[in-house]
Amino acid sequence: MPKIDITFPHNLNQEEATERLKIKEAEIKEKHVYTVTELNETWTSPTAMDFSFKIYGFSLKGSVKSLESAVQIILDLPVAAMLFRGTIESEIKKELAQVLK
């Protein structure tokens, strides 16, 4: 399965970056309550989360890691969603820029 792998740099400490990601996670759940289904997230450590969900018929899964000077998001992308790869990457980067500024 194709992957999107984004490492987005930031100037925050790791704890602050992680806290902002957790706040964004809650906002996403609230904002997309009718379009995102079967949402599962598991914090595997204080700074790393695995997730999976369905949106518009696509099943997606991936991970988020809050590192010392960056956030890494890896997303397994179904082949059928490859047409939207650029849009997905752009939206993720746009959201990270807002969260980590």
- Residue 29: strand, helix, or coil: helix
- How far is residue 48's CA from residue 85's CA, in Å, rounded to a whole number? 23
* CA 78-29-32 angle, 5° bins: 70
Stretch 66-94: mean pLDDT? 95
> What are the tens digits of pLDDT across the range 23-44?
999 998 888 888 889 999 999 9
Q: DSSP letter string over 37-99?
A: EEEEEEEEETTEEEEEEEETTEEEEEEEEE-SSEEEEEEE--GGGGGGHHHHHHHHHHHHHHH
Q: What is the pLDDT of residue 65?
A: 98
Q: How confident is the model at residue 96 (pLDDT cuts 50, 70, 90)?
A: very high
CATH topology assigned to domain 3-99: TATA-Binding Protein (3.30.310)
Q: What is the pLDDT of residue 10?
A: 97
Q: How confident is the model at residue 72 (pLDDT cuts 50, 70, 90)?
A: very high
Q: What is the pLDDT of residue 42?
A: 95
Domain boundaries, the chain: 3-99
